[in-house]
Amino acid sequence: MSLIEECYASGRGVLVDTIEAREEGGTISHLYCSGWEDRVCTTEDGRTLTFVAMAMDLGLPKNDNSAFQNIILGMDNVTGEVQEVVEEAKVADERFIITFRRYLAEDLTFPQERYRMTLLSREYEDDIAKLTCGFMDLLNTNGMREFLTATKAPGLKYI
């Protein structure tokens, strides 16, 4: 049984949720964590980052194979920083990538769970930013794939 499974089963241990948000191709990451104190955590690729504490709540999706694998983040937006960062990326028409990591407070050296998502929609109400992010971003997954043309696949000219 892994440490995170043991934590879920026993209710012992404190979970620390972290968010790393940035524009695709951007160099500046915006780092936030749940709770009242800033945390210094090591990511899966060996970077040591300082996450700024803020009020945060999230709704994880069901663990199934449905097409609706969205996570909903509710983040404190009293200062307007979250809205400013998100809207700046949207104005630039850039894809906004959010990496959610869950750590155990006893071991901040490696995330126990990790999700990399794309921002799908955003809402701002009172002092809360509600961000809906998706795991399956099929429109942006054409990376190193080969495009089919009529020369490579002759049957395409009849479609």
* CATH number, position 77: 2.30.110
pTM: 0.75
Closest CA to 73 of 145, 113, 133: 133
Instruction: Work out how many domains the chain is built from and give that number.
Output: 1
What kind and span of H or E run contains 9?
Answer: helix 3-10
Closest CA to 135 of 109, 151, 115, 107: 115
Q: What residue numbers bound the domain in which 49 lies?
A: 3-158
What kind and span of H or E run contains 150?
Answer: none
Q: Does the pLDDT at position 32 exceed 60?
A: yes
Torsion of Cα atoms, 41 then 47 then 49 then 55, to 10°? -60
Residue 39 confidence (pLDDT): 93
For 81-136, the pLDDT digits (tens) are 888 888 888 888 888 889 999 998 888 998 988 888 888 889 988 888 999 888 76
